[in-house]
Amino acid sequence: IKIYSLHVDCKVTSRFAHTVITSKIVNRANESREATFEVELPKTAFITNFSMSIDGKVYPGIIKEKASAQKEYDAAVSHGQSAGLVKITGRKLEQFHVSVSVAAASKVTFELTYEELLKRQLGKFELLIKVRPKQLVKHFQIDVHIFEPQGIRFLETDSTFMTNELTEALTKVQNETKAHILFKPTIDQQKINPELDETLLNGDFVVRYDVKRGATAGDIQIVNGYFVHYFAPHEMPVFPKNVIFVIDRSGSMAGRKIEQTRDALLKILQDLRPEDRFSFITFSRNVVEWKSSLLQATAKNVASAAGFVQTLSASGGTDINRALLTAASVLDKAESLPERSVSMIILLTDGQPTSGETNVEVIQENIQKAVNGKYALFCLGFGFDVSYKFLEKMALSNGGIARRIYENADAALQLQGFYQEVATPILMKIEMQYPENAVEGLTKSNFKLFFEGSEIIVSGKISNELDLLPVEIKAQSHSSDLTLKEEANIKEKEQVFQNQSYIFGNFIERLWAYLTIQQLLEKSISAQEEDQKTLEAQALELSLRYSFVTPLTSMVVIKPTGQQQTELANKPTEAG
């Protein structure tokens, strides 16, 4: 079984990435063989299409509601369950895997399409393509086209498998608003050494870039009546932070995890700004406050905290409830905090609550009452013994996010990396305002906090025949209350994309659908049961209308007669 052609074609239009992977395989044996198509795609992406063509006949994947797809599948497969076609394979990736039997001398073409909205983190967008053909491929090619009407500020490629020979197969062409990256190694360039038929191509191929930002009120783009508004102010004064680190030191943290936590906290202490205030709460069965109040991050206090961090050791149970309630009460009692400052609680835990209150619903309720919208709660789950669902719900209900920290050698770096994302709040209470009678289906438009290096994205549909779309942004910065205004000329904006040949026409509409589905699913995590059903119904309707494989839909893949005929591709989630 030989892969004779593998093509990854990725078009990024204004942060929205549309990737098509095409693999062509021939069976050179004189009997039928199994051909496998195995690709890894980002967890943040939604599969939108898949097909197999065998000897000219096309077998398309069909996207349906998850429950009805499962029913159909159960009926088709009486003997046992297959594992499904998609599974999580790491921090950022999930794997799509399908096999089909191919007759002697026959050919099969697999084609998978997925889409995602690239998210700006620490000042850049990252496009990740996983490369692992497992054999030498005669026609191997990665094409990345980027079109950013705001202009490309910088662009870099990075890869975990590059050699000097392979670098020669990489070309990069760019002008003000467009870039084309082509990676096309010959069979000889793909080899580990000339004698062996082993491939070097195994790892990540990454493109990172950022765009230019001129206008203060962000940038608006419009296609076919749908708009997207990007807002990422920079070079603004940073709010002082009041941050409490709530650190799990229960028995299961003993050994490498607590060491890595100590390493990360020592680095994070160095990153605190002098105007920040901070404290530590550690917990196992007992909850220990390092100090009874927040301290200013002076050199002396930071040094004293470092001494405390170095003594952290782990044993005992896990009283998450009391630890978080204590953190909220320290912030409640804090005096003389700067009027314009951002208060946050960062929880790191590796397990389930086992001491004190252990009912997760009661804990969630207690914390929500105590935090009461005044502080942002970030929950970091260390490893796979945590109830990620519980942490995610708690964070999303309290203005923060949850993140899994993987138990690897670089866990300390993961922790620091997370801290860097939330280290520089520069705006709060951001309201993105659009004329009510002229815009419908608006995605989330109010944001509690904006951190330097990220980006706010709002999208919607312009409902009537407007010539101008006025927008107004209200926010608080450290020094003042801001009001930014902008008017987008709809005809001019539409023109920008009209003559771009390689752009798929309704990309802003698809971007809007992608963003709306992501936000509905996120909202449903922390919603009450009856609201949850409504939110999921809306997300399902959009997933079907735009054919996205989301946690609410499945793709049914039907194979030629005589093989296990039906298989399902579902979207795995971090919470399992």
Q: With bands split at pLDDT 50, 70 and 90, how would you rate the model's confidence at 316?
A: very high
Whether residue 53 is found in the same domain as residue 149: yes
What pLDDT is recorded for position 496? 86
Mean pLDDT of 255-270: 96
Is residue 293 assigned to a domain?
yes
Is residue 69 assigned to a domain?
yes
What pLDDT is recorded for position 78? 57
Whether residue 11 is found in the same domain as residue 133: yes
Mean pLDDT of 286-306: 96
List all residues 6 or more positions away from 92 whose beta carbon is below 8 Å from its beta carbon. 42, 43, 44, 128
d(CA 453, CA 119): 10
**Integer CA distances (angstroms), 572 to 245, 515, 517, 525, 552, in order:** 31, 18, 15, 15, 10
Q: At what angle do helices 299-310 and 256-271 cross, to 10 degrees?
A: 180
Q: What is the pLDDT of residues 352-393, one digit of tens each?
A: 999 999 999 999 999 999 999 999 999 999 999 999 999 999
Query: What is the b/e burial string over 171-195, where b = at least 16 CB atoms within 10 angstroms of the residue's CB?
Result: eeeeeebbbebebebeeebbbeeee
Within 10 angstroms of residue 293's Cβ, the number of other Cβ atoms is 12
Which of residues 423, 445, 465 is at a domain's end? 423
d(CA 19, CA 12): 8
Q: With bands split at pLDDT 50, 70 and 90, how would you rate the model's confidence at 574?
A: confident
List all residues 6 or more positions away from 186 whose beta carbon is below 8 Å from its beta carbon. 169
Q: How many domains does the chain have?
A: 2
Q: What is the pLDDT of residues 508-538, one digit of tens each?
A: 999 999 999 999 999 999 999 999 999 999 9
What pLDDT is recorded for position 468? 94
- Domain with 261 in it: 241-423
When comparing pLDDT for 196 and 41, which is higher? 41
> Is residue 502 predicted with pLDDT exceeding 80?
no
What pLDDT is recorded for position 566? 80
- Residue 518, beta-bridge partner list: none
What pLDDT is recorded for position 225? 92
Residue 7 phi, psi (nearest 5): -130, 125
> Is residue 147 predicted with pLDDT exceeding 80?
yes
Mean pLDDT of 322-348: 94
> Is residue 148 predicted with pLDDT exceeding 80?
yes
Percent of the chain predicted with pLDDT > 90: 85
What pLDDT is recorded for position 500? 65
Whether residue 135 is found in the same domain as residue 272: no
When comparing pLDDT for 268 and 502, which is higher? 268
Mean pLDDT of 216-220: 91
Residue appearing with tokens 């009678």: 437
- Residue 484, beta-bridge partner list: 473
What pLDDT is recorded for position 465? 81
Is residue 107 assigned to a domain?
yes
Mean pLDDT of all residues belonging to the chain = 93
Q: With bands split at pLDDT 50, 70 and 90, how would you rate the model's confidence at 499?
A: low
Structure tokens at 178: 């467009």
What pLDDT is recorded for position 178? 95
> Is residue 243 predicted with pLDDT exceeding 80?
yes
d(CA 512, CA 508): 6
> Is residue 398 predicted with pLDDT exceeding 90?
yes
Q: Is the dihedral of CA 393, 394, 400, 402 positive or negative?
A: negative
Within 10 angstroms of residue 45's Cβ, the number of other Cβ atoms is 22
> Is residue 80 predicted with pLDDT exceeding 50?
no
Which of residues 423, 447, 467 is at a domain's end? 423
Whether residue 272 is found in the same domain as residue 404: yes
Indicate the range of 107-111, 297-301, 345-349, 491-495 predicted with least confidence.
Answer: 491-495
What pLDDT is recorded for position 336? 82
CATH number for the domain spanning 359: value is: 3.40.50.410
DSSP SS3 for 249? coil
What pLDDT is recorded for position 50? 96
d(CA 308, CA 311): 5
Q: With bands split at pLDDT 50, 70 and 90, how would you rate the model's confidence at 214?
A: confident
Is residue 224 assigned to a domain?
no
80: left (phi over 0), alpha (psi -120 to 50) or beta: left
Is residue 273 assigned to a domain?
yes
Within 10 angstroms of residue 301's Cβ, the number of other Cβ atoms is 19
Whether residue 184 is found in the same domain as residue 100: yes
Structure tokens at 6: 């593998």
Residue appearing with tokens 């297959």: 82
Whether residue 193 is found in the same domain as residue 70: yes
CATH number for the domain spanning 7: value is: 2.60.40
What pLDDT is recorded for position 460? 97
Is residue 247 assigned to a domain?
yes
Whether residue 407 is found in the same domain as residue 264: yes
d(CA 435, CA 351): 47
Structure tokens at 131: 């490369």
DSSP SS3 for 565? coil
Q: With bands split at pLDDT 50, 70 and 90, how would you rate the model's confidence at 504?
A: low
> Is residue 215 predicted with pLDDT exceeding 60?
yes
Whether residue 292 is found in the same domain as residue 201: no
Which of residues 374, 405, 423 is at a domain's end? 423
Structure tokens at 36: 């496998």
> Is residue 79 predicted with pLDDT exceeding 80?
no
What pLDDT is recorded for position 564? 65
Taking alpha carbons only, the member of 463, 504, 470, 11 closest to residue 229 is 470
Q: Which helix (H) or strand (E) holds 261?
A: helix 256-271
What pLDDT is recorded for position 501? 55
Q: What is the pLDDT of residues 121-139, one digit of tens each?
A: 999 999 999 999 999 999 9
Whether residue 144 is found in the same domain as residue 276: no
d(CA 520, CA 140): 38
Q: Is the dihedral of CA 251, 252, 256, 259 positive or negative?
A: negative
Q: What is the pLDDT of residues 438-450, one digit of tens each?
A: 999 999 999 999 9
Whether residue 257 is found in the same domain as residue 204: no
d(CA 47, CA 415): 30
For the question of whether the overall pTM of this predicted structure is more than 0.85, the answer is yes
List all residues 6 or more positions away from 376 whose beta carbon is below 8 Å from its beta carbon. 342, 343, 344, 345, 398, 399, 400, 422, 448, 449
What pLDDT is recorded for position 56? 87
What is the identity of the amino acid at 388? Answer: Y
Whether residue 198 is found in the same domain as residue 293: no
Whether residue 247 is found in the same domain as residue 376: yes
* Residue 532 near residue 540 (C-beta atoms within 8 A): no
Mean pLDDT of 25-33: 94
Q: With bands split at pLDDT 50, 70 and 90, how would you rate the model's confidence at 77?
A: low
Is residue 316 assigned to a domain?
yes
